[in-house]
Amino acid sequence: MIPNQWYVVLDSTQVKNKPVGVTRMGEKLVFWRDASGKVACARDRCAHRGVALSKGKVMPAGTLQCPFHGFEYDASGRVTKIPANGRLAPVPERFKVHSYPTHEAHGFIWIWWGENPPENLKPPRFFEDITPDFSYGAARDPWDAHYSRVIENQLDVVHLPFVHSNTIGRGNRVLVNGPVVEWRGEDTFRVYVFNEQDRGQTPRKPEDIPGPYPTFHLEFQFPNLWQNYISDDVRVVAAFVPVDAEHTLLYLRFYQRFMRLPVLRHLLNALAMPFNVYVAHQDRRVVTTQVPKPSALRMDEKLIQGDRPIVEYRRRRQELLDAAH
């Protein structure tokens, strides 16, 4: 995983009144809400005797109480109370666990995964063109794959007629023109797809495909957000949440704004999800067989022109990894 980045790690609905223990980025983490409702995140291990803090409880003041000896932690990971020492006793500075900055927006919870967050830490970005008039249905899907492989699958325009022959890949459009990759800043790029049936023609290179490009496109934001821009009113969004080196949670959403009547809107959003999960499972069946588990810029794979989005992703990912070390 790339350090010093904002990662979507949870859906907002997963953190309510009780502490929640999960594995993310290969670490056991605990999440809870303080007295103001803001999400806090820390490593899920008490500094005193190593107990899982997620088995404790949230106190009225918003601190997290360890279930073993009642130590209380604030959102910064600092112990604010050691009951055995008396409520007026000062707490030594060494009683602390590592915490992570959090941000909550658009129904997602992010953490800034790194050791020393900058003082002027800016909040994470989301897709600006998904405005508040959109509503969505959601699903969470576990994959036995490294998150980089799951991301690359959603940037792969070559696999569609083979993996999805009876769904989104219908039409036998096996010949891949381009694809065109358009960078929009340092950490966001779009992919424009021009697949067609093979009639004996030579695939066009990206530079031979003039704009303007179609409305439909894929968009990826580092480190783990993607959207399928189907139309101005319909999108599919995915957050590729790293659990550990071999497991990923796919947080999948269907966004739309053409149906706005409250009851019908929620019904439509819910009914759209089984199809989207089915399509994801078509991918999951093959992606989980890829070896090695993580991808890399330089590895034993023989790539083709149609893999350009994957090459661009790997190149930028490697730059970010190099910059963080």
Per-residue model confidence as pLDDT tens digits over 107-141:
999 999 998 899 899 999 999 999 999 999 999 99
The average pLDDT across 66-76 equals 97
The average pLDDT across 293-298 equals 95
Same domain, 185 and 223: yes
Residue 101 sits in a domain whose CATH number is 2.102.10.10
Rounded to an integer, what is the distance from CA 215 to the centroid of its chain? 24
Same domain, 173 and 67: no
pLDDT class for 18, splitting at 50, 70, 90? very high
- Is it the case that residue 325 has pLDDT exceeding 90? no
Same domain, 62 and 193: no
- Is it the case that residue 211 has pLDDT exceeding 90? no
Structure tokens at 100: 């992570």
Same domain, 284 and 317: yes
- First and final CA of the chain: distance in angstroms? 12
The average pLDDT across 21-41 equals 97
Task: Report if residue 191 sits inside a domain.
Answer: yes
Same domain, 65 and 176: no
Residues 143-182: tens digit of each pLDDT: 999 999 999 999 999 999 999 999 999 999 999 999 999 9
Task: Report if residue 139 sits inside a domain.
Answer: yes
- Is it the case that residue 307 has pLDDT exceeding 90? yes
Number of structural domains, the chain?
2
pLDDT at 12: 97
Task: Report if residue 119 sits inside a domain.
Answer: no
Same domain, 75 and 145: no
Same domain, 77 and 157: no
Separation CA 242–CA 249 (nearest Å): 7
pTM of the model: 0.94
Same domain, 139 and 109: no
The average pLDDT across 51-79 equals 97
Task: Report if residue 124 sits inside a domain.
Answer: no
Is the Cβ–Cβ distance between 253 and 108 less than 8 Å?
A: no
Residues 285-295: tens digit of each pLDDT: 999 999 999 99
Which amino acid would we find at residue 83? P
pLDDT class for 232, splitting at 50, 70, 90? very high
Same domain, 28 and 176: no
Is the Cβ–Cβ distance between 292 and 299 less than 8 Å?
A: yes
Q: Domain of 21?
A: 5-113
Distances (CA, A) of 216 to 102, 193, 233: 32, 8, 11
Task: Report if residue 127 sits inside a domain.
Answer: no
Task: Report if residue 257 sits inside a domain.
Answer: yes
Same domain, 84 and 211: no
pLDDT at 168: 95
Same domain, 142 and 100: no
Task: Report if residue 130 sits inside a domain.
Answer: no
Residues 254-293: tens digit of each pLDDT: 999 999 999 999 999 999 999 999 999 999 999 999 999 9
Q: Which of 253, 246, 251, 257 is nearest to 270 (CA)?
A: 253
pLDDT at 154: 98
Task: Report if residue 239 sits inside a domain.
Answer: yes
Which of 79, 113, 147 represents a domain boundary (last residue)? 113
Same domain, 209 and 306: yes
Average pLDDT, the chain: 96
Which amino acid would we find at residue 41? C
- Is it the case that residue 66 has pLDDT exceeding 90? yes
